[in-house]
Amino acid sequence: MLVITTFENSIFIELAISSLEQKGIPKEQIFAAPLDKRTEPRQLFDTIHRADGFSMFDTAAILGTCFMLLGAIYGYVLKWGPIIWGTIGAVTGLLVGFLIKLWTVKKGKGGNKKISAEIILMIRCEDYQWETVEKTLWDYKALGMTRIRDDKRGKIK
């Protein structure tokens, strides 16, 4: 069986490897590999060929609709009328919503440290060792884990 898990770069991965060796997993069956970090910043705007599911225009659309509705309603009592005030409200709402979203995205990049997988740990073990390996890795703060069963000839299914 092959166990694959991810860790943050910390002392916990060293402690997990030492604990696994003490529990009978040979050093030759444990492999740790660090991941390279992305160097270029994430793009804010999606293209037709690449989209990350993060929209910059959702808040702008919501506020644009709300401000347009308020502008059209109160435009009946204001001098320029509901069409002009509805258009002013829509443009104002779009700009305010976009600026709010842009500000929160920029603020989130520098201020919050997000958990990221930095090291992949692969362990080849027997089926009866799975529970011990799983408990040990979770105890030492693994971020995620999977197991892949292999057949008797050592080939992965």
- Within a domain: residue 73? yes
Joined tokens for residue 12? 């916990």
- Within a domain: residue 47? no
Total tally of structural domains belonging to the chain: 2
Quick one: how far is CA 116 from the chain centroid? 8
- Within a domain: residue 29? yes
Task: Indicate whether 122 and 92 sit together in one domain.
Answer: no
Residue 105: give the domain boundaries: 58-111
Q: What is the pLDDT of residue 43?
A: 65
Task: Indicate whether 92 and 62 sit together in one domain.
Answer: yes
Average model confidence (pLDDT) across the chain = 84
- Within a domain: residue 49? no
Task: Indicate whether 100 and 125 sit together in one domain.
Answer: no
What tens digit of pLDDT does each residue of 8-51 get?
888 899 999 999 999 999 999 999 998 887 766 666 666 666 66
